Amino acid sequence: MATKVDKQALEAVNEVRAAGVEWASLPVAERARRLREAGRLILAESDALARVVTAETGKPLAESYSSEVLGVADLFAYWCKHGPVHLEPRKGLVPALDMPGKKARVERMPRGVVACISPWNYPVAIPMRTLVPALLGGNGVVLKPSEFTPRSGAWLVERLRASLGPIVALVEGDGKAGAALIKARPDMVVFTGSTATGTKVAVACAKRGIACEQELGGKDCAIVLDDADIDRAAAGVAWGILTNAGQNCAGIERVAVHGRVAERFQEALIDRLRKAATHVPGLVTDGQRAIVARHVAAAVEAGGVVLTGGVPDGDEPIPPTLLGSVPRDCKAWREESFGPVAVLVAAGSDEELVRLANDSEYGLGASIWSKDIRRAERLSRKLNTGMVWINNHSFTGALPDLPWVGVGASGSGITNSPEALLHMTRPRLVVVDTSNAIEPWWYPYGDKMLGLMRAAVERQRSGGLGATFEALKALRLRNKELRS
Ligand code: NAD
């Protein structure tokens, strides 16, 4: 029986689908114009937006600006300027000699209704990086924000609807609301969240034939080579571990350092982590804090050492924490912790460092820190991740031209970049035939048809003049047969 939340989800999908008819029929330049205006109105209230994010996530206001609001400004500017060119039809190649008089083009069509199911860690940046290109592509969007950060999502949808009308809608609630939204049969689901939920979402979409993009968890590794600028690498790795209090899918949770500089790097990293402690707020949910606490406790139980930090009793925020000597079957090494915690490990060769980084089911991002860019580039080709940063980490999540993409348990979805826009639209082939020939591959079949096919294959195989001549001869015979 349909529940209240099922009905709400269905209403939202139906409303957006109805509004989508007119929206999709607008020229892309007009959609870009309206989106630019919507962006301008949202950014006029950027302080209010940053405060909503800070109020429900506890991020410092500066970080709400740097990782959420600023990204929104970039998104509107980028997509409205560069998006339309990726939506232009392209000419399809049809061999003029074999198939004369035919023209083909491939158009980009909207998918229809895109359901965007979002997590709580970046409650504005993550949904917006789907919303803006999806709308530009002619789709409508139903947003289901996380139940832990509902106000940011509601704020965005309210503003977008005020500017653009009911081409955007909101479905609020927990996982049941997300499941109901999929049951309401949108045309595409862009899911960002944990690997466990992503698996359920993929199954629900597959059952209904719904296209599904999956941006899932991560367990990023930073590789520090023996020629790295140790101070800079320590500062960058500390930020990669701690940004958003570690609640970042591409947060650094493993650090693999070359044995020759391990001691020096460990000292520098601990120093940076301790100094950053005042900028690291508590985790957004108690459940997440409990997961991090369990990972740290189990690592210590298995022989791991707390090099700095540790989980305090009670509900005080977890300070920046670095663990050493952690066995690799521990959760702290294998599973996503999603907190301000990382495991440090040393190894004696580049190959061993790469093996350590690849020792994970996840494959979102990795970084290599070295002054020798060619050496780092060589190693980067061996990493099994969707993104590799050399001498930096994860800062590209807010850059709309660059794909955010993973492999393995991190999901194979793409957000940001022209590649993501291609996924949010579908190709439609249109062919116009102006020839008046009876085609040589039409009925009746017989010896002449077979002779033509063999000659055509031989022409492709050898590419020689003789084979071309034979193919033309076979075509003439076949045409004569068809006209008689
Ligand atoms: P989550 O999987 O618990 O929830 C994500 C969303 O899915 C929420 O809106 C939730 O209500 C909804 N949901 C839950 N069950 C559902 C169901 N059965 N059907 C449909 N929707 C359902 O994730 P979270 O805890 O909110 O976010 C943290 C996770 O997100 C981490 O694993 C993190 O790595 C990942 N993440 C990935 C990326 C990326 O780009 N790869 C970015 C940010 C976060």
DSSP symbols for 244-289: GGG--TT-EEEEEEEGGGHHHHHHHHHHHHHHHGGG----S-HHHH
**Ligand 1 probe mutation, 3, 5, 149, 192, most atoms within 8 A of CB:** 192
Please check whether residue 403 lies inside any domain of the structure: no
> Is the Cβ atom of 173 under 6 angstroms away from ligand 1?
no
> Is the Cβ atom of 215 under 6 angstroms away from ligand 1?
yes
> Are both 246 and 192 inside the same structural domain?
no
Q: Give every CB contact of residue 290 below 8 A, 6+ residues apart in sequence.
A: none
Residue 15 Cα to ligand 1 midpoint, Å, equals 25
Average pLDDT over residues 191-217: 98
> Are both 341 and 256 inside the same structural domain?
yes
> Is the Cβ atom of 119 under 6 angstroms away from ligand 1?
yes
- Residues 7-34 have pLDDT tens digits of 999 999 999 999 999 999 999 999 999 9
Average pLDDT over residues 105-109: 98
- Residues 309-346 have pLDDT tens digits of 999 988 889 999 999 999 999 999 999 999 999 999 99
Residue 25, phi then psi, degrees to nearest 5: -80, -10
> Are both 207 and 268 inside the same structural domain?
no
Residue 275 Cα to ligand 1 midpoint, Å, equals 31
Count the Cβ atoms, other than its own, within 10 Å of residue 279: 15
> Are both 255 and 185 inside the same structural domain?
no
> Are both 49 and 155 inside the same structural domain?
yes
Residue 192 Cα to ligand 1 midpoint, Å, equals 5
Say how many domains are in the chain. 3
Count the Cβ atoms, other than its own, within 10 Å of residue 183: 17
> Which residue type, as a one-letter code, is found at position 400?
P
> Are both 259 and 140 inside the same structural domain?
no
Please check whether residue 405 lies inside any domain of the structure: no
> Are both 475 and 364 inside the same structural domain?
no
CATH classification at residue 202: 3.40.605.10
Q: Is the pLDDT of residue 367 over 90?
A: yes
Please check whether residue 433 lies inside any domain of the structure: no
Residue 214 Cα to ligand 1 midpoint, Å, equals 10
- Span of 202-206, 285-289, 387-391 with lowest mean pLDDT: 285-289
> Are both 475 and 382 inside the same structural domain?
no
> Are both 390 and 421 inside the same structural domain?
no
CATH classification at residue 352: 3.40.309.10
| Residue 206, pLDDT score | 98
- Span of 29-33, 35-39, 56-60, 477-481 with lowest mean pLDDT: 56-60
Please check whether residue 411 lies inside any domain of the structure: no
pTM exceeds cut of 0.85: yes
> Is the Cβ atom of 193 under 6 angstroms away from ligand 1?
yes
Q: Is the pLDDT of residue 484 over 90?
A: no
Which residues are known to be catalytic? Answer: 215, 249
> Is the Cβ atom of 253 under 6 angstroms away from ligand 1?
no
- Residues 231-243 have pLDDT tens digits of 999 999 999 999 9
Q: Which domain holds residue 156?
A: 4-216+417-428
Q: Is the pLDDT of residue 44 over 90?
A: yes
For atom 32 of ligand 1, the residue with the nearest CA is 194
Alpha helices of 137-261 — where are they, by DSSP H? 150-164, 175-183, 195-208, 230-242
| Residue 403, pLDDT score | 98
Task: Judge whether 132 and 140 are in contact, CB under 8 Å.
Answer: no
> Is the Cβ atom of 153 under 6 angstroms away from ligand 1?
no
For atom 39 of ligand 1, the residue with the nearest CA is 215
Please check whether residue 408 lies inside any domain of the structure: no
**Rounded Cα distance, 110 and 439, in Å:** 33
H or E element at residue 1? none
| Residue 97, pLDDT score | 82
Please check whether residue 409 lies inside any domain of the structure: no
Task: Judge whether 379 and 349 are in contact, CB under 8 Å.
Answer: no
Mean pLDDT of the chain: 97
- Residues 148-172 have pLDDT tens digits of 999 999 999 999 999 999 999 999 9
Q: Which of 410, 274, 280 is nearest to 340 (CA)?
A: 280
> Is the Cβ atom of 187 under 6 angstroms away from ligand 1?
no
> Is the Cβ atom of 189 under 6 angstroms away from ligand 1?
no
**Rounded Cα distance, 445 and 91, in Å:** 32
For atom 22 of ligand 1, the residue with the nearest CA is 175
Q: Which two tokens stand for residue 240?
A: 């990669």
> Is the Cβ atom of 39 under 6 angstroms away from ligand 1?
no
Please check whether residue 391 lies inside any domain of the structure: yes
Please check whether residue 330 lies inside any domain of the structure: yes
**Ligand 1 probe mutation, 120, 121, 157, most atoms within 8 A of CB:** 121
State the maximum Cα–Cα separation within the chain, in Å, rounded to a whole number: 93
| Residue 315, pLDDT score | 84
| Residue 1, pLDDT score | 81
| Confidence at 276, pLDDT banded by 50, 70, 90 | very high
Tell me whether strands 362-363 and 407-408 are parallel, antiparallel or unpaired: antiparallel
| Confidence at 98, pLDDT banded by 50, 70, 90 | confident
For atom 19 of ligand 1, the residue with the nearest CA is 179
> Are both 111 and 254 inside the same structural domain?
no
For atom 9 of ligand 1, the residue with the nearest CA is 146
> Are both 133 and 26 inside the same structural domain?
yes
> Are both 152 and 248 inside the same structural domain?
no
Residue 204 Cα to ligand 1 midpoint, Å, equals 15
Task: Judge whether 216 and 409 are in contact, CB under 8 Å.
Answer: yes
Q: Which two tokens stand for residue 67?
A: 């990782």
Average pLDDT over residues 281-285: 92
